[in-house]
């Protein structure tokens, strides 16, 4: 797969992870808002509906957690590729941009270098990743 596409995809993965975590929070809040029923005073049908709802909430929670784990694993793969670079500045720029999902302005402020120079470092880092990918296929 194209290195640029892989790196750009990490931004989308990060958005998706945040969306999944929001779903998880909503699910937890929904479960907390559910009325607590006294089993001695509740008819079986209401008790069964509440139990069914709780089971569905738990199942959805497990699915969301599994999705998050898989997405974070994809992001970890990208991070490992970046860590394979020898140049520390190249690694820093790519990690800020694609792992930490920082804007160019924020990276410029963090690193203390101009954006045009950061763009050059970024392009050199991309070329290094492409070369490393080609070398690993040999």
pLDDT tens track, the chain, 138 positions = 688 888 888 888 988 999 999 988 888 887 777 665 555 555 566 567 778 878 888 888 899 999 999 999 999 999 999 999 999 999 999 999 999 999 999 999 999 999 999 999 999 999 999 998 888 877
Asked if 30 and 50 count as a contact pair (C-beta separation under 8 A), the reply is no
Tell me, what's the pLDDT at 55?
A: 85
Domain hosting residue 93, numbered range: 86-138
7 plus 31 within the same structural domain: yes
In this structure, are 76 and 129 located in the same domain? Answer: no
Within 10 Å of residue 130's Cβ, how many Cβ atoms?
Answer: 13
* DSSP code for 35: P
pTM: 0.72
- Whether 12 and 64 share a structural domain: yes
46 and 100 fall within a common domain? no
Domain final position from 40, 60, 83: 83
Number of structural domains, the chain?
Answer: 2
CA gap 101, 94 in Å, rounded: 9
Residues 39 and 61 placed together within one structural domain of the fold = yes
Same domain, 121 and 106: yes
Structural domain ending residue among the three candidates 83, 106, 123: 83
């Amino acid at each position: 797969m194209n290195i640029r596409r892989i790196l750009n995809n990490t931004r989308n993965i990060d958005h998706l992870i945040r969306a999944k975590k929001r779903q998880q929070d909503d699910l937890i809040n929904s479960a907390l808002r559910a009325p607590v029923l006294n089993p001695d005073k509740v008819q079986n049908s209401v008790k069964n509906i509440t139990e069914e709802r709780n089971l569905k909430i738990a199942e959805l929670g497990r699915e969301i957690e599994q999705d998050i784990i898989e997405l974070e694993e994809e992001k970890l793969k990208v991070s490992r590729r970046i860590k394979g670079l020898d140049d520390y500045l190249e690694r820093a720029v790519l990690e800020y941009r694609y792992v930490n999902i920082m804007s160019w302005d924020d990276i410029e402020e963090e690193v203390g270098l101009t954006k045009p120079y950061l763009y050059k470092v970024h392009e050199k880092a991309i070329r290094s990743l492409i070369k490393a990918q080609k070398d690993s296929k040999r």
